[in-house]
Structure 1
Amino acid sequence: MPRPSQSVSSVAVSRGTARPNTRDIPEETAVALSYNGTTQAVMMATPADLQEFAIGFSLGEGIVTHPDQIERLEIEELDAGIDCQMWLSDEAADRLGERRRQMAGPVGCGLCGIDSLEQAMRPLPQLPPDNVCTGSARLLHAMHMLRKGQKLHDLTRGVHGAGFLHADDTVTVKEDVGRHNALDKLIGSLALQGIDPASGVILLTSRVSVELVQKTVLAGAPILIAVSAPTAHAVRLAEDAGLTLIALARDERFEIFTHPHRITPQEAHNVA
């Protein structure tokens, strides 16, 4: 299996001086997601945590509603890339047959290959209004822990991170060259551990696009906090779905864009 990073030669130029250099950079591999012998999607991804990636993608796309509906999962390395081969229960196979589509997802693209506008703007469930409440100090500490947990980013400076803040204040971190892939890996990891995303907070190192909101809401997490800005459409989607969307989380401040009731008022006031 390819390593998640590779060491390559470069020439470092600084203040008019050039010198030979060696740098670790992230690997990027074509990863096929196949169900019952047929490829459903091919994504460019970091070749690590692929079991979690396959399960998280399957949950996020609605192909399965529980990991147990994947009866067998095998990961095979091929000349052209890696094939994550999954065999589904009859219920999940019937569901997939009703909504089969082909996707090709280069890095940074979340909706490539969807064959209709209706699929891109799929309706989202409503999140319960008061299932999680937290404060700004805890969220800012969690973002610090997310950054601390990014070992591949520290090595390569070239990957995104997705994290989950647990009730005990620990943070699970997954990384990938694609921000959507990192979130899929995180959701798959939580599913394998039997952890309900509704019990905590999703943390992201990227900007917040529509599909990241979709994946968070479909997972059932009530709060999403990210380092960079959201798109306007992502804010509208979060508002409609009842998701607390927090962004621009840097240093000691952040901005709450939707449903601020889940952030304790006195602490929310401190970061305004």
Structure 2
Amino acid sequence: MPPPDAEANPASGALLSLRPPGGATDERVAVEMPVALTVNGVSQAVMLATPADLEDFALGFALSEGWIRSSQELLDVEVLTQPDGIELALRVTTAREQQLKARRRLLAGRTGCGLCGLESLAQVSAVKPAPVQAPVLADGALDRALAGLHAAQVLNARCGGLHGAAWCLPGGELLLAREDIGRHNALDKLTGALARHGADPRDGFVLMSSRASYELVHKTAMAGAGLLACMSAPSSLAIAMADRVGLQLWAFVREGRATRYA
């Protein structure tokens, strides 16, 4: 069953209004702030993110990091305003808490990171996505999805600088989108939103406004989607990861063109 909404739900704190020195009018800028994620009272990660759709972010991040295997294992999320940022206090089942203790890692997140906080190279492949299968795209699907993404980026239209992640049907219809100053955060929010709505990521594909990085391929596969399309260039590691898990990877998705890399 597809989710009902087709655009992000802007939070009141996602944008900041300020007047540049010498400027005549106020400008809108995207808010970037520390967002700490704790699980059953234990600190797990600190990311820099835009404070919108935070419950989606908490669930999606937990799924993509392998903290939980399904939304049913996340019992509650409390959004707490702290002096230095926001804390997302996740409460998970006892069984998942024990597994987390056995495989605990700390992340000091940045808006462009994908492997930050890992303690050794061996941890790069510690969380492996299962093989995925790509949907069959209709002719013109990527063009239709791209047009939908531009319309769905309601925050970016007001300030610029925000990435968009969208979930689209094989025909190109965009059904859900999330935004964040970090591309991987936007995808985590989308993953969480899909899980909260009970949608099956295998029924569609992911479209991103950014380059195609390793982290985005990994997170897309962890969500269960089999196709990732990005507006900018891919990296070698992203292509290798896509080949490894059977994910169809498209990049340089622009109006009237796209290149398939895996």
Q: TM-score, normalised by structure 1?
A: 0.88
SS in 2 for 1:96: helix
Aligned to 1:132: 135
Whether contact under 8 Å (2:146, 2:255) holds in the other structure is: no
Deviation digits for residues 140-175 of structure 1 (CA, Å, limit 9, x no counterpart): 101110111001100011110000003672331100
Contact 2:136 2:170 in 1 (8 A): no
Whether the aligned pair in 2 keeps the contact of 1:146 and 1:171 (CA below 8 Å) is no
Q: 3-state SS of the aligned residue for 1:125?
A: coil
- Measured after TM superposition, the shift of residue 239 of structure 1 is 1.0
Q: Does 1:159 align with 2:162?
A: yes
CA RMSD in angstroms, aligned pairs only: 1.6
Q: Are 2:20 and 1:7 aligned?
A: no
Report the structure number with the largest CA radius of gyration: 1
Which 5+ residue runs of structure 1 have no aligned equivalent? 12-17, 259-272
**After the TM superposition, which residues 29-40 of structure 1 pair with which residues of structure 2 at under 5 Å, given as runs?**
29-40=33-44
Give runs of aligned pairs for residues 11-90 of structure 1, distance below 5 A. 11=21, 20-90=24-94
2:104 corresponds to 1:94: no
TM-score of the pair, normalised by structure 2: 0.91
Deviation digits for residues 56-109 of structure 1, max 9, x if unmatched?
000000000111111121111111111110111012112211110111101111
Report SS of the residue matched to 2:261.
Answer: strand
Amino acid at match of 2:137: T
Aligned residues, how many?
250
Structure 2 residue 179 is the aligned partner of structure 1 residue 178: no
- 1: distance between equivalents of 2:253 and 2:198? 28
- Is the CA contact (8 Å cut-off) linking 2:15 and 2:30 kept in structure 1? yes
Partner of residue 146 from structure 2, selected from 122, 125, 143 = 143
Unaligned runs of 5+ in 2: 1-10
| C-alpha distance after superposition, 1:186-221 (max 9, x if no partner) | 000000000111110000000011111100111110
Give the secondary-structure state (helix, strand or coil) at the position aligned to 1:20: coil
Native 8 Å contact 2:141 2:170 kept in 1: no
Q: Please give the alpha-carbon distance, in whole angstroms, between the structure 2 residues aligned to 1:19 and 1:148.
A: 28
Paired residue for 2:201, among 175, 197, 201?
197
Task: Tell me the distance in 1 between the aligned counterparts of 2:137 and 2:84.
Answer: 46
Alignment partners' CA distance in 2, 1:153 and 1:67: 29
2-structure distance, mates of 1:120, 1:40: 17
Paired residue for 2:8? none
Residue aligning to 1:213: 217
Q: Which has the higher contact order (CA 8 A, sep 6+)?
A: 2
Distance 1:253 1:87, change over 3 A: same
Preserved contact between residue 137 and residue 170 of structure 2 (Cα < 8 Å): no
Counterpart AA for 2:169: H
Cα distance in 1, alignment partners of residues 23 and 83 from structure 2: 35
The alignment partner of 1:120 has SS state of: helix
Q: Distance in 2 between matches of 1:106 and 1:176?
A: 12
Moved more, 175-184 or 233-242: 233-242
Aligned partner of 1:262 in structure 2 is none
Identity, % of aligned positions: 37
Q: Shift in Å at residue 21 of structure 1?
A: 3.6
1:142–1:171 CA contact under 8 A, matched in 2: no
Contact 1:227 1:248 in 2 (8 A): yes
C-alpha contact 1:103 1:112 (8 A) present in aligned 2: yes
Indicate the residue corresponding to 1:120 in structure 2: 124
